[in-house]
Amino acid sequence: MSRKADIEALVARYLEIETPTEGLPLAVSPIGAEEIAAGIETLLSGWLTMGKQVSAFESAWAEAIGTRHAICVNSGSSALLVMLSALVETGVLQRGDEVIVPAVGWSTSLFTVAQAGLHPVLVDVGEDSLCLEGEWDRPVMAVHLLGCPSRATGPVIVEDACGAHGAKIGGDRVGSIGAAGAFSFFFSHHLSTIEGGMVNTDSDEIADAARSMRAHGWVRERNDREAIKAANPEIDPRFLFVSAGYNLRPTEITGAMGVAQVPRLDGYVTRRRANHAQWCDTIEELGLPIRVFPELTGTTHAAFAFPMLLDADAPIDRAELFHRLESKGISTRPISGSNLARQPAFERVPHARVEGPTPVADAVHERGFFVGQSHAFDERHLERLIEALRFAFR
Ligand SMILES: Cc1ncc(COP(=O)(O)O)c(C=O)c1O
């Protein structure tokens, strides 16, 4: 038996990750014996900082999404920051440009736009997708919310695909549609490297700028480094800095765990998507005062979590619904940051403003919620959810 197989067998003996036997958690960890063994192998190898494993994860992820490049970082929020900074660095976007951002999204979908020197303009989301929709005259931040693809277009499309691994518009995977896309590999996501993120792009220039932005602004991992070195012969190339970057690098453990997981993506999305369709159909048939969000025609929903919206005239409010569902073991959350313009942090986001009315984002803010979805869920989990919903509206 090889050392790796030996470690994997040992880990498998002690690992206790099972399909949950009661309630409905928000997520089930996709990290199994193979990833833990890969992490231990990496620790034993003595090379712990970003190296060959990260490169292998990047290659596998670029291929899985269908882009020429993928740049690994330490979180989805870091991926957003690196991606937007690289777009400014390469002149695809200019500092001070307005970027259309959906009012409903994750906090850092908004914050990173401002952190990159851009001016976020929050607008309402579509009532069937809860995502940014339509054609805009300014660059758009297409947040593929909870696995639902955002079909918004503009002069530049930037994608927040942090919760939409494997989602598609037509035949194109999200993250490959715009100038660049960002993914998260946090614990609860389709694939997980504990924490982790990735920037995908087809552009050599954006990819190189992202490589500098990720690691101190230096040239080391850039594909065009030889030309930069030649233009700066007086500076030692080991410490040659070309961008005002950050340090948002992943560790080798991220790479090793990612490599083990990428092959499972399609199977996971198939399961999640089938669950999503069945849950929508079943809940719609119950005639409860809640609406669900079926997959949009022409898209593939990656079903990160299962969003619902309580009717405005429902007999109970959202707080009471949360209380009743949680009492039955159903974990609940508001829909991400809900209307981000109504979060206290909004007034601290430089140059952010709201454009137009936001009735859908407001409804989400007041009455929206989600429950978990997972590759590990089956009929039993749907039954538990249905039973709890019936109890809540009894
Ligand atoms: C849409 C969206 N963007 C960004 C993020 C941030 O990712 P991370 O937690 O890896 O920083 C998340 C996290 O769930 C997300 O759902």
Query: How many distinct structural domains can be found in the chain?
Result: 2
Q: What is the pLDDT of residue 260?
A: 96
- 300 membership: H or E segment, kind and range: strand 299-300
Tell me the best of 78, 80, 108, 146 to mutate to test the pocket of ligand 1, counting ligand atoms within 8 Å of each CB and taking the most: 108
Query: Which range, of 1-5, 22-26, 58-62, 216-220, averages the lowest pLDDT?
Result: 1-5
Residue 129 near residue 150, CB atoms below 8 Å? yes
In the chain, % of residues over pLDDT 70? 98
pLDDT band per the 50, 70, 90 thresholds, residue 18: low
276 alpha carbon – ligand 1 mean position (Å):
20
More confident site: 32 or 296: 296
Domain boundary among 212, 234, 263: 263
CA angle, corner 193, sides to 188 and 199, nearest 5? 95
**With 80 as the cut, is the pLDDT of residue 21 above it?**
no
CA dihedral angle for residue 211, residue 213, residue 215, residue 219, rounded to 10 degrees = 60
Length of the chain: 394
Q: Rounded to whole angstroms, how far apart are CA atoms 53 and 63?
A: 15
Domain that holds residue 360: 265-392
Helix residue ranges, H only, the chain? 3-14, 33-45, 52-65, 76-89, 107-115, 204-214, 225-231, 252-261, 265-286, 318-327, 359-367, 379-392
Q: How confident is the model at residue 4 (pLDDT cuts 50, 70, 90)?
A: confident
| C-alpha–C-alpha distance, residues 72 and 200, integer Å | 9
φ/ψ of residue 171, rounded to 5: -95, 0
Is pLDDT above 60 for 19?
A: no
Report the CATH number at residue 176. Answer: 3.40.640.10
Q: Are residues 109 and 119 in the same domain?
A: yes
Give domain status of residue 244, yes or no: yes
Q: Which two tokens stand for residue 1?
A: 């038996």
What is the rounded distance in angstroms from the CA atom of residue 22 to the CA atom of residue 329? 7
Q: Examine the domain organization and report whether 177 and 259 are in the same domain.
A: yes
**Per-residue confidence (pLDDT) for residue 20, from 0 to 100:** 60
Residue 337 within any structural domain of the chain: yes
Q: What six digits make up the tokens of 159? A: 């994608």
Q: 230, 245, 263: which is the final residue of a domain?
A: 263
- Together in a domain, 120 and 204: yes
Residue 211 Cα to ligand 1 midpoint, Å, equals: 20
pLDDT at 188: 87
Are 248 and 346 contained in the same domain?
A: no
pLDDT in tens, 188-217: 899 999 999 999 999 999 999 999 999 999
- Poorest-pLDDT segment among 13-27, 141-155, 177-191, 326-340: 13-27
Q: Encode pLDDT of 203-255 as tens digits.
A: 999 999 999 999 999 999 999 999 999 999 999 999 999 999 999 999 999 99
- The answer on 69 and 94 residing in a single domain is yes
Measured by CA distance, the residue closest to atom 13 of ligand 1 is 162
Would you say the CB of residue 159 lies under 6 angstroms from ligand 1?
Answer: no
What is the CA angle 239-242-245, rounded to 5?
A: 90
Q: Are residues 176 and 77 in the same domain?
A: yes
